Structure 1
Amino acid sequence: MLEPWRTGRIIRIDRATPATWHFWIEIPELDVFDFKPGQFVTLDLPIHEKKNKRWRSYSIASAPDGTNVIELVIVLLEDGAGTNYLFREVKEGSELLLRGPQGVFTLPDSLEKDLFLVCTGTGIAPFRSMVNFIHHNNIPHRDIHLIFGCRTFGDALYRNEMEALQQQEPGFFYHPVFSREEQVSSGEYKGYVHGVYETLLKAEKNPASFFLCGWKNMIDEARQRLQDLGYDKKDIHFELYG
């Protein structure tokens, strides 16, 4: 059953990079906006006459916290009508229609296997929600590896937060991967996400579940590589962007 459309109010906007912004949305008619980490909301933006051409879906980047405020992290697409509207027309105090929560890209009931969260760009959003939820609720888990690919150090969304969480949450490991940096520090990687999870998997060889979030090319390649390593399709979950 679909949730009804509700009015959301933009209460804060922060710029992570010139082309990637954080939007905090309050849903005033609810005391608590309840959702599962990994779910998304759909925005109905005034950019077209046809409904299905106005709808844009974004994963919730915040963890459920008992409030009626959620955070989205959105990248500007040059030819994207939806993101151009959000970046150019929306201000703090603006209202927009949203529906949610939606989606089944969520954590299993029991975290009995190692968890590999593989993402690029704003694909980190559902994983940030998941790992903060696990941490704040003291949920038992095996090793969790967050492998986050981006171009440069300045593109590493939530970097300080993830580095701090790695120190605070036993069994959580943050692996940033940079495709356009010549020199990286210990614990960081050059290149792309695929080499990182393959190296980790070959070293550990434990049962694992995989969650992939990002552009189609990355997900298609990761799914094939993981199956080539012998992992079952049913252990590979993904959410496409774009």
Structure 2
Amino acid sequence: MSYKVTLQPSEHTFEVEENELILDAALRQGVGFPYGCRSGSCGTCLGKVVSGEIEYPQGLPLTVMEHEHEQGKAVFCVSIAKSDLVLEVKEVTSSSDIEIKLLPARVISLRKLADDVMEMQLKLPESERLPFRAGQYIEFIMRDKSRRAFSIANSPSNDEYLELHLRHVPDGKFTDHVFSEMKEKALVRIEGPYGSFHVRENSNRPLILVAGGTGFAPIKAMIEQLIEQADTRPIHLYWGARAKADLYRADLAEKWAFQYPHIEYIPVLSDLEEGSDWEGKTGYVHDTVAEDFADLSGHDVYLAGPPIMIDAAKAAFAKQGLPEDQIFSDAFEYAAEKEA
């Protein structure tokens, strides 16, 4: 059994399954609920039940007084629906609505995805969560107060953990440490989320997502969220790299394209070795997009990668009729490569 939840004043709706926490259902379907601890102790997700019935499986949380409960006040991270609901909630509608937090985190896994790419999984404290939008990034705070920024590579619905893809920069202080010295269970300090790179919900245009190298990380988060939201807009994923080995999660991209008819995956290699058996696209990834789409005016384009790729893509796509307000980019990681 499931129940329909309608939000005021936005009139957005979503379904919540029987015994599913209301906040979990909202995040699973991409609804911008405000939240913090996910344990009922911070009150960030406080709202009002306008109509319908909810229940707290673990009892009334300390953040809601008995008289407030009688007035309809509720926190939705620890409550379930017992009927269709109308809720009054101040939704998160832009990245600026999300609180930036400074938190400790524990490294729970380090896995090499390529010779120069490390997947790092971070676990947040039990009593804390880091709400973010797919495409945003966090910063590591070093002991000398310097910072290193990396995109979050997982969907916001899995917010107990953060997945990052770190490219090894030769002589880079932080990535040298990650690749040669850092161990699982290490503690780090992070701050975020930052950035305005996220899929705009006010558009139904087909999406062209262009990744260069580890620019795949925020694009991965976006696609995972779109899949969770059952968004069936056509998605054309272009991933540009030098060599086949640099397409370090090609298996995942191929899986998306196989499972979902609306997702197309086009890898592009720019530096083929002699004798390579590569049969796919070659050259620069932005040139491939321009060749495939003579008219881009009906698409939204998202670019994540080195500045040289993004600058070239913007110039090329403008000639293909892409309006300036339909192209979005993220080049932050590469801007500080020399220090990484």
Q: Taking structure 1 as the reference length, what is the TM-score of the superposition? A: 0.90
Indicate the RMSD between aligned Cα atoms, in angstroms.
Answer: 1.8
Q: Is the 8 A contact 2:296 2:322 kept in 1?
A: no
Q: Taking structure 2 as the reference length, what is the TM-score of the superposition? A: 0.65
Q: Is the 8 A contact 1:33 1:66 kept in 2?
A: no
Match status 1:131 vs 2:228:
no
What is the distance in 2 between the residues matched to 1:205 and 1:105? 20
Select which of 280, 302, 316 maps to 1:225. Answer: 316
SS in structure 1 at match of 2:106: strand
Deviations 1:10-69 (A, max 9, x none): 0001001121100000011445433211011111123x3xx2xx1111100111234410
Question: Partner residue of 2:109?
Answer: 12
- Inter-CA distance 140–116: structure 2 relative to 1 (3 Å threshold): same
Following superposition, the deviation at residue 161 of structure 1 comes to 0.8
Gaps of 5+ in 1: none
Question: Partner residue of 1:116?
Answer: 208
Q: Is the 8 A contact 1:31 1:67 kept in 2?
A: no
- Inter-CA distance 205–236: structure 2 relative to 1 (3 Å threshold): closer
What is the distance in 1 between the residues matched to 2:127 and 2:138? 15
Following superposition, the deviation at residue 4 of structure 1 comes to 2.6
Counterparts of residues 32-51 of structure 1 (less than 5 Å): 32-46=129-143, 48=144, 51=145
Q: Which runs of 4+ in 1 moved over 3 A?
A: 29-33
Q: Is the 8 A contact 1:145 1:174 kept in 2?
A: yes
Counterparts of residues 173-188 of structure 1 (less than 5 Å): 173-181=264-272, 182-185=276-279, 188=280
The percentage of counterpart residues that share the same residue type is: 26
Following superposition, the deviation at residue 122 of structure 1 comes to 0.3
Q: Which amino acid aligns with 2:205?
A: K
Q: Is the 8 A contact 1:120 1:150 kept in 2?
A: yes
Q: Is the 8 A contact 2:101 2:193 kept in 1?
A: no
Q: Is the 8 A contact 2:232 2:262 kept in 1?
A: no
Following superposition, the deviation at residue 206 of structure 1 comes to 5.8
What is the distance in 2 between the residues matched to 1:168 and 1:33? 30
Q: Is the 8 A contact 2:296 2:321 kept in 1?
A: no
May I ask how many residue pairs the two structures share in their alignment? Answer: 233
SS in structure 2 at match of 1:234: helix
SS in structure 1 at match of 2:170: coil
Select which of 98, 111, 121 maps to 2:190. Answer: 98
Q: Is the 8 A contact 1:30 1:68 kept in 2?
A: no
Q: Is the 8 A contact 1:111 1:140 kept in 2?
A: no
Q: Is the 8 A contact 1:122 1:214 kept in 2?
A: yes
Gaps of 5+ in 2: 1-95, 336-340
